[in-house]
Amino acid sequence: MQPIGVFGGTFDPIHCGHLRTAFELWQELRLAEVRFLPTGSPPHRAQLYASPERRLQMVRAAVADQPSFVVDDREVRRSGVSYSVDTLTELRREYPQASLCLLLGMDAFLGLPNWHRWRELLTLAHIVVAHRPGWRAPTTGPLGEVMVDHGTGTIRVLHERPSGCVYVHAVTQLEISSTELRSLIIAGRDPRYLVPDEVRQIILETRCYAAQQEPAGC
């Protein structure tokens, strides 16, 4: 069975950088699918701007034309704070034999020691770190130990084992951030070509990121 990619995030809003990273990992790692999981109540973000339901709507619109991209709304439906370890535990229960690959960017990976029960993640899934060319994985500290104990340089192992490895993979880096994108929209500038057209339409119609909009209010 091909690995299942698990791609979580606030997606506030989802943009072309997210989609390009997911597409390259799906293609090059030969993933069966990439599951997009918009976060409901994230533990590490003090403030969200679009509501969980609106962010879910934007993610669905963004991936509608890619059959191998699947939207999973469990974290939006979950009451309380969403932790990755809980989501992976549920997915492991649903797919006991499958290889699960948690897809992370560099910044998320570097912050991993601050995550809830982070050391349990590798008992549930592989971790795939998408990075810009030239980046080097940590060699010291807790993450350095993880790389020594769990790092792998081959894609094959992601297909042969259900969990337990860390694989780093260079992807095309589109210099787009959700924070800068929100600022651009609040300033009245058009997000065309930074987000899919369907997402742009939702943003313009609902005014999710209008200057007067309260956080998580649309």
In this prediction, residue 48 carries a pLDDT of 82
| Residue 4 half-sphere exposure toward CB, CA atoms < 13 A | 22
- Joined together, the tokens standing for residue 100 give 């699960």
- Joined together, the tokens standing for residue 171 give 């992807």
Q: Are 47 and 207 in contact (CB under 8 A)?
A: no
Each domain of the chain, given as residue ranges in start order, spans: 4-206
Q: What is the pLDDT of residues 74-126, one digit of tens each?
A: 999 998 888 999 999 999 999 999 999 999 999 999 999 999 999 999 999 99
CA separation (Å) from 137 to 59, 105, 141, 201?
A: 30, 12, 11, 38
**Can you identify the CATH homologous superfamily of domain 4-206?**
HUPs (3.40.50.620)
In this prediction, residue 119 carries a pLDDT of 96
pTM: 0.94
Q: What is the pLDDT of residues 151-162, one digit of tens each?
A: 999 999 999 999
For 100, phi then psi, to 5°, come to -110, 135
Q: Are 112 and 85 in contact (CB under 8 A)?
A: no
For 169, phi then psi, to 5°, come to -145, 125
Q: Are 79 and 45 in contact (CB under 8 A)?
A: no
In the chain (218 residues long), the average pLDDT of successive 10-residue segments reads 95 97 98 97 75 96 98 93 95 98 96 96 98 87 96 97 97 92 94 98 94 58
